[in-house]
Amino acid sequence: MSGSNSMWGGRFAEGPAAVMREINASIPFDKRMWRQDIAGSKAHVAMLAQQGIVSAHDAATIDAGLDRVAADYAAHGVAEDLALEDIHMQTEARLAEAIGPVAGRLHTARSRNDQVATDFRLWVRDAIDQTLVALDALRVALLTRAEEHAASVMPGFTHLQSAQPVTLGHHLMAYVEMASRDVSRFRDARARMNLCPLGSAALAGTGFPLDRAATAAALGFDGPTRNSLDAVSDRDFAIDYLTAAVQCALHLSRLAEEFVLWASQPFGFVALSDQWSTGSSIMPQKRNPDAAELVRGHAGRIMGCMTSLMVTMKGLPLAYSKDMQDDKPPVFECHDLLGLSIAAMTGMVESATFRTDRMRALAESGFATATDFADWLVREAGLPFREAHHVTGRAVKRAEELGVRLDELPFAEFQAIDARVNEALYDVLSVDASVASRTSFGGTAPANVRAAIAAARETMR
Ligand code: ARG
C-alpha cells in the first residue's frame, strides 16, 4: 500500500536530516566561547577596515552590531539553534538580524577554521590565567599552614610505615613544590600557544592584504602563526593545557588522599571543618571527607579528558577535519573539574584543624628516631654505619620487648647492647632533636622549613 510507504518514507527522508543536524552542531557546547568569538570578530573587522578591505563605515556598523549581540548574549544567554551549527554562525546570524546584510562583510578573508582555532586558543589562554590565580590561592593556603606548623612534629612515612619524624610544615611545603611546578607548566603552555591563527583562512591563507600582526596584537598574542596549514589544524595548545592539568590533578589527588587518610579515625591527624565534611544518612556519627574523595576521583576524569583529545587528534591528516570539533568538550570539562578541585583543596587546607598532639604521639611511638641513634653511633662512637645500623636494630628489638619507646630504654640496656655508648645518646632520641638536626638543604629542620617558606613567597611576588 502506498499509504504505509508514505508514512515511513516521509519519516525516513526527514530522519537522517535531523540526525545530521544534531551530529553536526557544536553550539550546545561551543557557545561557551562567545566572548572569544566576539573579540576575534572585532579584531578582524578593525583590521579589515585599517587595510581598506571593508569601508570604515561598514566596519563601525559591524563593530557596534557585535557589541549589541554580545550584550544580548550576556543578558539572555546564547540560543542553541542547531540549524546554525556553531557559535560562529550563530553570531553572524544574530549580527545580520541586528544590522542587516552588511553583516556579511565580516567573514571576508576568514574561515571558520582559523576563526575556531583563534577562539579556542583565546579560551584556553583564559582558562590558564584562571588556573594560575587558583593555584596561587592554593599555594598561599599551604604556605600559611606550613608556617603555622613549621615545627609541628609528625611521623614521616615511607611505604606508609612510620619512617622518620618530619614537620607538618615540611610535609605541606612538599605540595607547594608540586603546585609551583604546575604553575610553571601552565605558564610554559601559555607562552608556547600565544600565536594567533587568524588570517590563515580555511587552510591556505588568503589573497586579501591582511595585517596579521595587527589582529594578533589586538588579541594579546605575541604575533601571528607561521604556517596556515599548521595553524588551522594544530591543537597542541589544548593538549599542552590538558597535560599540565593532568599533572596538577595528580598532585591534588595525592593531597586529597592524605586528607582522606588523615581524617580517618586510625590516623586522626586532621579534623575537617563542618564546611568540608558531609554526614551519612544512616550513621549519625559520620563526618565524611567527600570533597577530598571527589578531588581524588576527578583526577581520573581529567586524565580521561586528556586521553580523549589525544585520541581525537591521533592520525588526522592536514588540515582541518570535523573530528576536531570534538576538541572542546574535554577541555571544558577538564577546566570545570580542575577549578573545583583546586578550590576544594584550598578550602580544606585553609580550614582544617591539624591534630598535632596526635601526630606527635604517633611520631614518638614508632621508633622513628632509630636512624638518629645510628647516626649518633657513627658520629660520636666512630662506628661504621652498617655496624651502627645493627646495634640500633638490637636496641629497637629490646625496646619492643620491654614495651617502651627508644628514649625510654634504660642506659644499662644500651650499654649491654654496645659498650661504646654514653648517656649523651639520649639527646638525639627525641623527635624534636631529630627534626632539628635535619638541616641539610631541603631537609625538615624547622629553620629550613621557615627558609623554604620565605623563598617560596619571594618567587610568588
Ligand atoms: N564548529 C566547528 C569546530 O568547532 C567550526 C569549524 C568548522 N569548519 C568547517 N570547515 N566545517 O570545529
Ligand 1 pocket test, pick from 91, 325, 331 with the greatest ligand atom count within 8 Å of Cβ, gives 325
pLDDT at 274 (0 to 100): 83
CA 17 to mean position of chain CA atoms: 40
How does DSSP classify residue 423?
G
pLDDT at 396 (0 to 100): 94
pLDDT at 278 (0 to 100): 81
What are the 10-residue block averages of pLDDT along the chain, 461 residues in total?
Answer: 42 68 95 98 98 98 98 97 94 98 98 98 98 98 98 96 95 98 98 98 98 98 98 98 98 98 96 84 81 97 98 98 98 98 97 97 89 93 95 95 92 94 91 95 98 97 84
pLDDT at 280 (0 to 100): 74
**Which protein residue has the closest C-alpha to ligand 1 atom 7?**
112
Instruction: Tell how far the Cα of 116 is from the centroid of ligand 1, in angstroms.
Output: 7
Separation between Cα atoms, residue 81 and residue 72, nearest integer Å: 15
Ligand 1 pocket test, pick from 24, 30, 36, 322 with the greatest ligand atom count within 8 Å of Cβ, gives 322
Instruction: Tell how far the Cα of 322 is from the centroid of ligand 1, in angstroms.
Output: 6
Separation between Cα atoms, residue 190 and residue 192, nearest integer Å: 6
Report the candidate in 323, 408, 311, 312 with the shortest Cα–Cα distance to residue 369: 408
Separation between Cα atoms, residue 339 and residue 271, nearest integer Å: 24
Q: CA-based angle 166:248:336, to the nearest 5?
A: 135
Catalytic residue among 2, 4, 159, 281: 159
pLDDT at 4 (0 to 100): 40
Question: Rounded to the nearest 5°, which phi and psi values hold at 145?
Answer: -70, -35
Which atom of ligand 1 lies closest to the CA of 120?
4
**Which protein residue has the closest C-alpha to ligand 1 atom 3?**
325
Separation between Cα atoms, residue 443 and residue 440, nearest integer Å: 5
Instruction: Tell how far the Cα of 325 is from the centroid of ligand 1, in angstroms.
Output: 6
Report the candidate in 95, 87, 106, 96 with the shortest Cα–Cα distance to residue 25: 87
User: What pTM, to 2 d.p., does this model score?
Assistant: 0.92
pLDDT at 7 (0 to 100): 42
**Which protein residue has the closest C-alpha to ligand 1 atom 1?**
86
Pocket of ligand 1 (CB under 6 A): 26, 30, 86, 112-113, 116, 320, 322, 324-325
Catalytic residue among 55, 184, 280, 365: 280
Check if 280 is active-site: yes
CA 434 to mean position of chain CA atoms: 35
Separation between Cα atoms, residue 284 and residue 238, nearest integer Å: 45
Check if 298 is active-site: no
Report the candidate in 427, 412, 413, 416 with the shortest Cα–Cα distance to residue 380: 427
Q: Which segments within 246-327 are labelled E, that is strand?
A: 270-271
pLDDT at 14 (0 to 100): 63
Burial class of residue 450, CB neighbours in 10 A (0-12, 13-18, 19+): middle
Which atom of ligand 1 lies closest to the CA of 86?
1
**Which protein residue has the closest C-alpha to ligand 1 atom 11?**
322
Instruction: Tell how far the Cα of 24 is from the centroid of ligand 1, in angstroms.
Output: 9
C-alpha cell at 260: 582522606
Separation between Cα atoms, residue 317 and residue 314, nearest integer Å: 9
CA 365 to mean position of chain CA atoms: 37
Ligand 1 pocket test, pick from 112, 121, 235, 326 with the greatest ligand atom count within 8 Å of Cβ, gives 112
